[in-house]
Amino acid sequence: MIVERKIYRVSELNNLIKDILDERFPLDVWVTGEIRDFKTHNGNWYFILRDEQAQVECVMWQTYNLNLPWRPQNGVAVEVLCKPTLYAKGGKFELLVKNILPAGKGKRAIEFEMLKEKLRAEGLFDPIHKKPLPQFPFVIGVVTSAKGAAVRDIIKVVRRRAPWTTIIVRHSLVQGDDAPADIIQGIKDFNEYGKVDLIIVGRGGGSEEDLWCFNDEGVARAIFASKIPIISAVGHEIDVTIADFVADRRAPTPSAAAEMAVPDKNELKAKLEQILRRVANLVHNKILMAKRRVDQLYHRAELRHPLRQLDEFRRQLDELRMRAENIVKLNLERAKKRVEHLSEKIRLLSVENTLSRGFSIVWRNGNIIKDSSTLVPNENVVIQFFKGKANAEIKKIKS
């Protein structure tokens, strides 16, 4: 029996395969993979889409890529909407791509870069908009979780460096879908309150997902709009968020933010002592110069002039000595009063001094109660005295 052979021309076979592909994929399909060998030519994009087992060549005509809001890069995982086809003339199988979306972690990275470039173009990162931090903030607002390690670190560092500083904690969610709105409101609350000198916004370390709320556009714009200077303190030193770019200062950790916010009392003391030494040296040098000048005048009078002029120089000597002594006393008195004034101001502003005068502080859930209208009957609070604390229950409220 003779079997008749079917012999195809190359063009016939390629066109047949192309028709089979068109019938099998009448509609566009989504394909995922990693971009490799990305290149452009005449506005068209050419690249390879690959996974662990295979790869395929892709082309995206300028008609489709012109309005794409981002530019793909090598190594980025993507999802492409495409038409599988065979270029019959060259016998090359390829994907005609019509849309590209980032996939997985690459999607988050692209979203981050797109928002960063958008805000940069609007000027939100410009140094000209950065507000200077106050040299001596007496009240600091903190927007973070009241139960996290970050707030404990901030309070510990501030109390060690500047114990006269008041810290107000505005509890906020710091991860999850509801966190951005809570952080935004916390910043607005402090701006409306208006009695804080500086705001710290942040949290302790965590995963990229945990910290993602600080990459929210609304949070960035709230930080930029704040009339009060803001220090961002999100995660660890290696973690960088959009909030860090917009904030007036960026601290690598919450503890570092506290150190950045307040001066160290020991350093202040050392500076005051240095000022006193400089004043004393200045006065001493002036006295020496005056004495040398008097000695010169006295010597000239002794060599060149009679006793009458010698008496005049002695009178000038006494006058210069009196003036020098007055200068010494005046400068030392001014320096002493300045040191005493600063010391008394620091002492009077301390929490311990306020409590020692018979005042007390009422706490509820770690926050200071400043208005009795915020209390409710039968509510438990903590009363802090100069010595010790006491738990109390609210029985009756008076305005």
List, for residues 125-184, the tens digit of each pLDDT value.
Answer: 999 999 999 999 999 999 999 998 999 999 999 999 999 999 999 999 999 999 999 999
Q: What's the pTM value of the predicted model, to 2 decimals?
A: 0.54
Question: In whole angstroms, what is the distance from residue 25 CA to residue 209 CA?
Answer: 37
Least confident of 84-93, 161-170, 242-251: 84-93
Percentage above 90 pLDDT, the chain: 46
Return the pLDDT at 185: 97
pLDDT digits (tens, 9 = 90+) for 304-361: 666 666 677 778 878 888 887 888 788 788 878 887 777 777 767 666 777 777 778 8
Higher-scoring residue by pLDDT: 250, 354 = 250
Q: What is the mean pLDDT of the chain?
A: 87
At 3, the pLDDT band (50, 70, 90 cuts) reads: low
**What is the phi/psi pair of residue 324, to 5°?**
-65, -40
Structure tokens at 133: 């931090």
**Region 137-263: CATH code:** 3.40.50.960
Question: In whole angstroms, what is the distance from residue 203 CA to residue 212 CA?
Answer: 12
Question: In whole angstroms, what is the distance from residue 367 CA to residue 218 CA?
Answer: 26
CA dihedral for 46, 49, 54, 56, sign (positive or negative): negative
Are residues 183 and 219 in contact, defined by beta-carbon separation less than 8 angstroms? yes
Classify burial at 269, counting beta carbons within 10 Å of its beta carbon; exposed 0-12, middle 13-18, buried 19 or more: middle
Any idea where the domains of the chain sit in the sequence? Answer: 10-103, 137-263, 266-349, 353-393
**Confidence check: pLDDT of 105 > 80:** no
**Confidence check: pLDDT of 2 > 70:** no
Return the pLDDT at 278: 87
Higher-scoring residue by pLDDT: 258, 317 = 258
**Confidence check: pLDDT of 301 > 80:** no
Element (H, E) at 318: helix 307-349
Question: In whole angstroms, what is the distance from residue 66 CA to residue 100 CA?
Answer: 12
Say which CATH class 10-103 falls into.
Answer: mainly beta
Question: In whole angstroms, what is the distance from residue 252 CA to residue 261 CA?
Answer: 13
Which amino acid makes up residue 117?
A: E
Classify burial at 220, counting beta carbons within 10 Å of its beta carbon; exposed 0-12, middle 13-18, buried 19 or more: buried
Return the pLDDT at 60: 96
